[in-house]
A and B are shown apart, each in its own frame.
Chain A
């Protein structure tokens, strides 16, 4: 039973480019969560999605960041016009329906903006 998959594991982008981070939840899970970890910081909640629906985006920056979880395919976290401050590890978690307390985490994507 595969766990939460994230790809790529490492992503390097130049300032101004776009970054797309993918997350495939565990089989049978319908909820996805994105967190960001800056150096020397804990994980910060960004967004919580169900398929085709954003439940809570209270942690998403107002500009340049967007997330989706389509009916088919992985969840995507998209960062437009990246800046150096976006360099971080981005973690995705998934949970079964109505079990937000059971979040299983993926290995993360480490984004480096040069």
Chain B
């Protein structure tokens, strides 16, 4: 079955440090890739998404992610984190050619990011 792995359960960084959160998915084929963020006490929000084209995707708040098809990866990066980036980050994947619908997003377990001021 399709699955999505996020390597780090909890990441602690100081402000201005660089961030990279890993995300790998289990199966090749045509994929749509997403990163969602959940700030404390708030809804899940879409940070960025990749469907096709340039594998380097830029999202909101200075985040970007790179799709590497050969590695089945879609890692999230930010050059310099801020205290306000403290949140939980979820990677999600939808497969175009899997039997499920386009609405069936498969989520990773999430990575909690704590940024120390």
Q: Which residues of B contact A4 (CB under 8 A)?
A: 43
Q: Does B63 contact A (CB under 8 A)?
A: no
Q: Which residues of A contact B108 (CB under 8 A)?
A: 42
Q: Which residues of A contact B53 (CB under 8 A)?
A: none
Contact of A56 with B90 in the complex, beta carbons under 8 Å: no
A91 CA / B43 CA spacing, docked (Å): 9
Number of B residues near A (Cβ < 8 Å) is 27
Q: Which residues of B contact A65 (CB under 8 A)?
A: none
Taking a contact as CB atoms closer than 8 A, the residue among B42, B104, B109 that contacts A48 in the complex is B104
Q: Which residues of B contact A58 (CB under 8 A)?
A: 99-101, 104
Q: Which residues of A contact B100 (CB under 8 A)?
A: 45, 56, 58
**Given known contacts A3-B43, A101-B102, is B107 in contact with A44 (CB within 8 Å)?**
yes
Q: Does A72 contact B (CB under 8 A)?
A: no
B6 to chain A, nearest CB (A): 8
Q: Which residue of B lies closest to A42 (CB)?
A: B107
Interface residues as binary, A95-114 with B (CB distance below 8 Å gives 1, 0 otherwise): 10000111111111000000
A41 CA / B106 CA spacing, docked (Å): 12
Q: Does A31 contact B (CB under 8 A)?
A: yes
Number of contacts between A and B (CB, 8 Å)? 67
Contact of A31 with B103 in the complex, beta carbons under 8 Å: yes
A41 CA / B110 CA spacing, docked (Å): 8
Interface residues as binary, A24-38 with B (CB distance below 8 Å gives 1, 0 otherwise): 000000010101000
**Given known contacts A91-B44, A101-B49, A105-B44, is B109 in contact with A40 (CB within 8 Å)?**
yes
Q: Does B83 contact A (CB under 8 A)?
A: no
Q: Which residue of B lies closest to A44 (CB)?
A: B107
Interface residues as binary, A56-89 with B (CB distance below 8 Å gives 1, 0 otherwise): 1011000000000000000000000000000000
Q: Give A contacts to B, CB under 8 Å.
A: 3-4, 31, 33, 35, 40-45, 48, 55-56, 58-59, 91, 93, 95, 100-108
Could you list 16 examples of A-B contacts with CB < 8 Å? Answer: A3-B43, A31-B103, A33-B105, A40-B109, A41-B109, A42-B4, A42-B107, A45-B103, A55-B103, A56-B103, A58-B99, A100-B102, A101-B34, A103-B103, A103-B105, A105-B43
